[in-house]
Structure 1
Amino acid sequence: MFSNSVQSTWAQWKADFTTAVHQRNATALAQSLTAFVSDDTVDALRNSQYAGVDIGAFADVASEYNKYINSNLDVMHAAYSRVVNAFAHQSVLQEDWMIATLRLLCSDLTALALQDNDPQRNASNSVNTLDLFSKLASIFFNEINRDSSKIGSRGRSFFVPVYFSFRICFKLNELTRCPKIIEQVDLVLNLVDSSEFPSADFVTYNYWLGRLRLINHEFEDADRSLSVAWTGCPDHYPRQKRQILLYLTATRLVLGKPPSSQLLQDYNLDGLFGDLISAASVGNFAEYEHLLQMRCTWLMRYRLYGIMKYRLKVAMFRNLMKNTWMALNQTRTISFWQFWNACVFAGAANFTIEDAECILVTLVDLGYMKGYLNHAKGVVVLSASPFPPMYEVYK
């Protein structure tokens, strides 16, 4: 057992650490890790127990972390690797509050990996960081796989290096590494129910997964992941809810079921999406293209420009065809020329009759419109209910 002075130091440290975790103060966490760490302190704490905590195990983590944060950029990955080994293999991980420490370690390494202004060196550091995160996630996965009934903090820590890996992949456009990360997560979720993990970590993972699905044009899967993130994110985190809704709105625009105007207003997104949704819903190409160019820089920053410009066009042609059908008293037969006139009137640039025919073929092939084309007569023959909801087509 410790001397009174060491016990007092440890008690004060634990109080500071608990406060830092409660306040989510990364600076205070780092200070608490290094406040009393020295060779003498580590030796005094090693192989000791206090208040049911394996102090010796934590002393190893704190000692390695102290060396890591004082290392230079060239050796930080080797130093961090030692922290990973000390952190992941010690029984101190059974303490839930150590998850916050893991989050701090991953956050630190991510920031260091991305801070170098030399692109070549930055990429090298970040790839090394991804390898370390993969190693850390693998350690947790092996623990879960060994005994999924005792998931403990090792299992609850699993998603932390996972979503930091996503962050680096997106920052450096290393998205080809993401499928390997997802594969490992899927294996874990086959062993353990998602409710076993902290909801915040599961929400964050689904946010990044949804963004990846959206970039890959897997819209239904993107909708599913982003919806999980949206539902799981508490209302008292409005900034995070808004970020999720931003990508969910783009996804659902393509699927034909955009959020309500009121919901967009609640999160200050109506000014960005409201008029775009209105133009897309009626197939007003001229207005939509004008609005898109006005917001080009903003949409490109969030990787949404290509999706909003190209993937939404087919949906807009479908909406325009539906409005044409309604304007013609829901006639069962519409000529290619009638549809072409509607497209030109709506502002479709450099549009020919052949283009109109190709669009109609596409709408039928994709299931956005039910009917068939009579090319000899230059007409499309529609079924009794020719325009199913778009989101049903994706199912």
Structure 2
Amino acid sequence: MTFPQYVSHIAEALENRDGFTVAELTSFKHPHSKSHNFMRVPLRELEGYCSEELESPFDEVVAAHVRAIQAVGDNNYNEAFVCQCALVQSFLKGFQTQKDENWGLPILMSLSLDLRWLATQAEKHCDRSKEGEMLEKAADLLMSCFRVCVTDTRASINNTKRWGTMHIVNQLFKIYFRIKALHLCKPLIRAIESSSMLDQFKVSEMVTFRYFTGRKAMFDGDFKQAAAHLTFAFDKCHRHSRRNKHLILIFLIPVKMLLGIVPSPILLRKYHLECYASIAGALCSGNLRELDMGIKQHERFFAKYGIYLILEKLKVIAYRNLFKKVFLLLGTHQLPLQAFSDSLNYVDGSEEISVEEVQCIIANLIDKGYVKGYISHSHQKLVVSKKDPFPLCNTVLQ
């Protein structure tokens, strides 16, 4: 495709208000972005031809897009990102003036995808002192896109720009999680969850949204909410999207284990997450030593996804499970503290655990609600409730 043919196709699509075709022709996913014909178009000829053939602001949009293509061809991602920012700003000027119509939404979505991609590529080629700067600029521009969409409240449901809010929010989530600015997600989550259109967005967009809101809830310590969001994302994710299901399970599995639900070996093998196998086995048996070994064995993997400290919280569940086994074995509600000390020394074996240390562990379990009872210091016993002395984990984490 020659450059004049390319511009002609865009002009025709604009005349027909065909947002999908324009989006395709201004995307880096389209084959034209790899064409050598576009690399040789001089800047003066480019801008002059676009201004003659295309209506404003699309003359600026197309010119900036071709300049971005040329910059990528020269491996200059910083310049490409600058061009993409100018492109999005030019498009927004025209887009926000469109009343009671949203045919440009596919274009906005496509441009926002390329904006985040180019920001990410530019980050890889910039100085470490400027790390995160490009992504922050992209986020600021995406917030402008979000405001244009979310404030379009007067248009009819079919013509409103609010259909673009979920897509933009998901792009912002990807940036905020990358630059570790999770606190900026909260107002976006509130805006989407309070929307009257919440149940009408595309399933694919909802899956992405729930995936990130689940991760946010997990880092906030709201494990029940995290499990609900991540379970929705996993169940609704397309069955052929194995990679996406794998990513969701990386976070869903530890959250479920904190709620007392252990993954099956079949599930772990299916999604290549055998790194959780030894941890799940140790959790069920209450073997603290194996639990520690399982976490440390895959320490880099868990640290990479930010779940290492979450897995450390499983130790309290392991203590609870081990002590419940002692309770079932002895068959009494008055349990000698020495029995707990012996059980810990048996499964650990690395160093002697005293009765005093056991008292601290049990006191912590009682305080957190994993054990119902009290310690009788005079008799050196744990006296547990006759009704549900070891509550289910998912009832403890309210």
Superposition TM-score tier, normalisation by shorter sequence: 0.7 to 0.9
Match of 1:240 in 2: 244
SS of equivalent residue, structure 2 residue 257: helix
SS of equivalent residue, structure 2 residue 132: helix
CA distance in 1 between counterparts of 2:122 and 2:8 reads 37
Report whether the alignment pairs 1:289 with 2:304. Answer: no
Tell me if the contact between 2:210 and 2:229 (Cα under 8 Å) persists in the aligned partners.
yes
The amino acid that maps onto 2:177 is F
CA distance change for structure 1 residues 97 and 140 in 2, over 3 Å: closer, same or farther?
closer
Q: TM-score, length-normalised on structure 2? A: 0.81
Q: Which 4+ residue blocks in structure 1 deviate beyond 6 angstroms?
A: 5-8, 11-15, 34-37
| 1:133-212 equivalence runs, <5 A | 133-143=142-152, 146-147=153-154, 149-150=156-157, 152=159, 154-172=161-179, 174-175=180-181, 178-212=182-216
CA distance in 2 between counterparts of 1:29 and 1:372 reads 72
* Identity %, equivalent residues: 22
Tell me if the contact between 1:204 and 1:229 (Cα under 8 Å) persists in the aligned partners.
yes
CA distance in 2 between counterparts of 1:137 and 1:126 reads 16
Match of 1:52 in 2: none
SS of equivalent residue, structure 1 residue 377: coil
| 1:90-169 equivalence runs, <5 A | 91=98, 93-95=102-104, 97-98=106-107, 100-143=109-152, 146-147=153-154, 149-150=156-157, 152=159, 154-169=161-176
Tell me by how many angstroms 1:279 deviates: 0.8
Report whether the alignment pairs 1:319 with 2:321. Answer: yes
Match of 2:62 in 1: 62
The amino acid that maps onto 1:134 is M
CA distance in 2 between counterparts of 1:140 and 1:13 reads 22
Tell me by how many angstroms 1:360 deviates: 1.0
Q: TM-score, length-normalised on structure 1? A: 0.81
SS of equivalent residue, structure 2 residue 391: coil
Match of 1:80 among 80, 85, 90: 85
CA distance in 1 between counterparts of 2:334 and 2:323 reads 12
Task: Please provide the CA RMSD for this pair.
Answer: 3.5
Tell me by how many angstroms 1:208 deviates: 2.0
Tell me if the contact between 1:254 and 1:312 (Cα under 8 Å) persists in the aligned partners.
yes
Match of 2:280 in 1: 277
Unaligned runs of 5+ in 2: none
SS of equivalent residue, structure 1 residue 162: helix
The amino acid that maps onto 2:358 is A
The amino acid that maps onto 2:245 is K
The amino acid that maps onto 1:253 is M
Tell me by how many angstroms 1:193 deviates: 3.0
Tell me by how many angstroms 1:248 deviates: 0.3
CA offsets 1:180-212 (integer angstroms, 9 cap, x no match) = 333133123313232222222221122122223
Tell me if the contact between 1:102 and 1:157 (Cα under 8 Å) persists in the aligned partners.
no
Equivalent residue pairs, number: 372
Match of 2:333 in 1: 332
The amino acid that maps onto 2:145 is L
Tell me if the contact between 1:109 and 1:129 (Cα under 8 Å) persists in the aligned partners.
no
Match of 1:356 in 2: 358
CA distance in 2 between counterparts of 1:335 and 1:242 reads 44
Tell me by how many angstroms 1:249 deviates: 0.4
CA distance in 1 between counterparts of 2:159 and 2:89 reads 18
CA distance in 1 between counterparts of 2:257 and 2:290 reads 16
SS of equivalent residue, structure 1 residue 26: coil
CA distance in 2 between counterparts of 1:259 and 1:282 reads 14
CA distance in 2 between counterparts of 1:81 and 1:213 reads 35
The amino acid that maps onto 1:80 is C
CA distance change for structure 1 residues 231 and 278 in 2, over 3 Å: closer, same or farther?
same
